[in-house]
Structure 1
Amino acid sequence: MADHDLIDGYLAEIAGRLPSEAVEELADGLDETFQHQLLRGLSPTEAAHAAIAEFGRPAQVTAAFARQSAGRHTAVALLVTAPVYAGLWGTTLITAQAWNWQIPPAAALAFGVTLLAVATTLGIVAKSNNPATARLVGPATVALILLDLGMLAAVATAAPALTWAAALAVPASLIRVAVAGRNLPRVCAR
């Protein structure tokens, strides 16, 4: 690595914001850029300034990492598809006359509060420029899987008959559970 205080300070600032693997990757690229600037005839200080300018301010670099994180992509995908699931399950509950089901009010309230917390968390992650915020997608994904499974269990036990809406909502939720479960290790990795 280029032994220059400016670059060391830049990397130290980024190290507080990004995972160590990302910082190592940035350090390698920054060193290559620094060496290239030296070959162009710049002094070490000028080469360090030029290399850092090419990479951008630490806030820009961390925001770029946040935008590219698996957690953010997952949050956006879950939010974008949420209206489809809401429509499918809303139609299912209406056509199955869910208001007649024997579901304890506390369970319905817990479901609603959890759903709101998941949606809020996914929204925060989708809008955040902080890579650390993307870690919240793991617990939100687990909660969403549990909500889907809870809805599937409620429909299986409480619905009087399978409706056309449930015939669409059930496989959609099963697919979301499978995809979210498969992506869970990726979004939980730091």
Structure 2
Amino acid sequence: MADRDLIHSYLSELARRLPAEAVEELADGLEETFQHQLRRGNSPTEAARVAIAEFGRPAQVTAAFAHQSSGRRTAIALLATAPMFACLWATTLITAHAWNWQIAPGAAVAFGATLLTVAATLGIVARSNNPKTARLTGPASITLILLDLGILATLATAAPAVTWAMALAVPASLLRVVLAGRNLPRLFAR
């Protein structure tokens, strides 16, 4: 039964890298490919080898799953829009003279450190070939929503006057909060 040992070893390797439901789907497809190879006249061992070869090395299969995950796609989208948000909020804070606002320095440092952590997390997800890493996008998205709401609340309570830059930054952040919030169920689905 070397054929079943080959397939079992292959699926065991994938099970260490992928969610169980993904491995179940792959197992069904692998079994179909194996049966097809048997019908073509291959020996059971050769049919198993050919079926596994058609599916690709575990690292390739894992990378393909990672690249198609909603977590990775979301991380890339959030990172791609980050420069626009950075420009909008930098302009807003500069034109509103934020350095004169009554904000505790520790709060500003915590905000910045949290924002950098979220950006680093999204960068890791975007570059990872591990589908399990994509799960970090959900908590990172929630944190980003909270950061957006935090800066909006700070703006509402500390800004002395509305500036033209605020008229752009506020709706952009509100839109990101809504879109990121709508995407959360997909990011936490298993």
* Aligned residue type for 1:169: A
Once the two structures are superposed, residues 138-159 of structure 1 have per-residue CA deviations (whole angstroms, 9 ceiling, x without a partner) of 1111110010000100111111
1:150-161 mapped onto 2 (5 Å cutoff): 150-161=150-161
Separation in structure 2 between the aligned mates of residue 7 and residue 22 of structure 1, nearest angstrom:
15
* Aligned residue type for 1:105: P
Q: Tell me whether 1:116 sits opposite 2:125 in the alignment.
A: no
**1:129 aligns to what SS in structure 2?**
coil
Q: Which residue pairs with 2:50 in the alignment?
A: 50
Q: Which residue pairs with 1:138 in the alignment?
A: 138
1:1-150 mapped onto 2 (5 Å cutoff): 4-150=4-150
Separation in structure 2 between the aligned mates of residue 110 and residue 181 of structure 1, nearest angstrom:
23
Q: Which residue pairs with 2:167 in the alignment?
A: 167
Separation in structure 2 between the aligned mates of residue 163 and residue 40 of structure 1, nearest angstrom:
72
**1:16 aligns to what SS in structure 2?**
helix
Once the two structures are superposed, residues 108-164 of structure 1 have per-residue CA deviations (whole angstroms, 9 ceiling, x without a partner) of 000000001000000001001111111111111111001000010011111111111
Once the two structures are superposed, residues 30-70 of structure 1 have per-residue CA deviations (whole angstroms, 9 ceiling, x without a partner) of 11111111111101110000000000011111111011111
Segments of 4+ moved more than 6 angstroms:
none
Q: Which runs of 5+ in 1 are unaligned?
A: none
**Cα drift, residue 185 of structure 1:** 1.5
**1:41 aligns to what SS in structure 2?**
coil
TM-score (norm 2): 0.97
**Cα drift, residue 5 of structure 1:** 1.5
**Cα drift, residue 189 of structure 1:** 2.2
Separation in structure 1 between the aligned mates of residue 114 and residue 189 of structure 2, nearest angstrom:
23
Q: Which runs of 5+ in 2 are unaligned?
A: none
Report the number of matched residues: 188
Separation in structure 2 between the aligned mates of residue 86 and residue 23 of structure 1, nearest angstrom:
40
- RMSD value, Cα: 0.9
**Cα drift, residue 74 of structure 1:** 0.6
The sequence identity of aligned pairs, in percent, is: 77
